[in-house]
Amino acid sequence: MSDHVNENRESEARSSSVSTIAPKEGGGFPNPGLPPHIHRQADENPRAEKRAERMVAAMFVLSVLGTVLFVASYFIFTPLGTNLLGTPGTLHAVHWSNLFTGIGLAVAVFFIGAAAVHWAKTLMPDEEWVEERHHIEGSDETREVAASIITDGLEESGVGRRPVIVTAMVAALTALPIAVLAPLSTFGPLPGNKLHHTFWKKGLRITRDTDGTPVKASEVAMNSIFHVMPEGLTEDMEDYLEQRAKAAAVLIRIDPALGQNQESLDNGYQGILAFSKICTHVGCPVALYEQQTHHMLCPCHQSTFDVTDGAKVIFGPAHRPLPQLPIEVDAEGYLVAGGDFPEPIGPSFWNLHKDK
């Protein structure tokens, strides 16, 4: 029995000592081990170490200068305002603005990365270490070892001994966010209630988008669609394009007997309904109308709105109906707006339903 036990133990010992590398005679190769460590110039020559330190600091300083160039270029090479090399409002001015701001930001970001790489390659420890595996157990001793590793790493990296690099690095990292924050000062005033109002007002006639002629109720045939704008919206207005984009609407006439939403029918006139043309998903023009189904379709992402039910969403990514423009008829039979849209047109935003 004892002989059998001894044989088992010897067998286990042999199996535990088997090398993971096949013997040479079996077609394998011996473990070459780690290559000899080659010391860098900065490891042996104090002057080379100092030179590398100055180079890293210089790269951080270049990053700061890149940030300064970006911020300065943003204000002295503007596309529409001040531009030292181009006429404002021209592609030439845009070219110089993009060129100098792009160079400044590229220099700022590049030299932070270059300094970090050069610091790691020339000044931080690069010796190979082999650590035996051990059980992953948390203990006071393990935490002390971990803390000492961090402390030793900080000492070996030379952060405490190289104030020039640290100062330059802090300056570069502090200056870089300015390149992001500086443009915020030129974004202009907050929109206020502008998103909640359009050019439409009570009594304004509804005109054709193509030629600006007013539309009579008698001219709107059953199942037809008109692309319309408010009367008085002219190109000589300072914010013409903005107002035009918000006021775009469509007129559609349906059989009132098909209506599923009485409130929507009440805001129309004898089945003539007016809705915003701007999709409530991402603002594309909802310009396609299916006469047989009475559905309006957005061509961008296929949001579909049911005109017979107050333009409610029946398909697609939009989350709310198209705002409806209340309409009336004046004494001459022309269609006029009964007021502005009851809610903001286009895509939703955070304070959509705040008080106007």
Beta-bridge partners for 250: 227, 275
Distance CA 225, CA 249 (A): 10
Nearest in space to 178 (alpha carbons), one of 101, 281, 289? 101
Q: Is the pLDDT of residue 279 over 90?
A: yes
Amino acid at site 163:
P
Contact 278, 286 (CB under 8 A): yes
Q: What band does 16 get if pLDDT is binned at 50, 70 and 90?
A: very low
Q: Is the pLDDT of residue 354 over 70?
A: no
Q: How much is the average pLDDT of 48-57?
A: 92
Place of tokens 């020559």: 45
Q: CA 146 to CA 158: how far, in whole Å?
A: 19
Residue whose pair of structure tokens reads 């036990």 in the numeric block: 5
Q: What is the pLDDT of residue 143?
A: 81
Residue 213 or residue 131, greater confidence: 213
- Length of the chain in terms of residues written: 356
Looking at 18-32, 168-182, 228-242, 268-282, which range is the least confident one? 18-32
Q: Quote the pLDDT of residue 173.
A: 86
pLDDT tens sequence across 96-135? 999 999 999 999 999 999 999 999 888 888 777 777 776 6
Q: Closest Cα to residue 74, out of 181, 171, 172, 170?
A: 181
Cβ atoms of residues 122 and 42 within 8 Å? yes
Mean pLDDT in the chain?
85
What does the alpha-carbon distance between residue 77 and residue 84 come to, in Å, rounded to a whole number?
6
Closest by Cα among 195, 243, 190 to 356: 195
Longest CA pairwise span in the chain (Å): 120
Confidence grade of residue 336 (pLDDT, cut at 50, 70, 90): very high
In the chain, % of residues over pLDDT 90: 50
Confidence of residue 138 (pLDDT cuts 50, 70, 90): low
Q: How far is CA 102 from CA 67, 96, 141, in A?
A: 10, 10, 51
Arithmetic mean of pLDDT, 155-171: 80
pLDDT score at 2: 45
Quickly state the pLDDT bin for 137 (edges 50, 70, 90): low
pLDDT value at 193 more than 90: no
- The structure tokens listed for 141 are 């001793």
Q: How far apart are CA 211 and CA 226, in angstroms?
A: 12
For the chain, domain boundaries: 41-122, 143-174, 196-337
Burial 264-302 (b: 16+ CB within 10 A, else e): bbebbbebbbbbbbbbbbeebebeebeeeebbbbbeeee
Per-residue confidence (pLDDT) for residue 27, from 0 to 100: 61
**pTM score, whole prediction:** 0.53
Q: What is the CATH number of domain 196-337?
A: 2.102.10.10
Structure tokens at 60: 């951080």
Structural contact between residues 44 and 51, judged by C-beta atoms closer than 8 angstroms: no
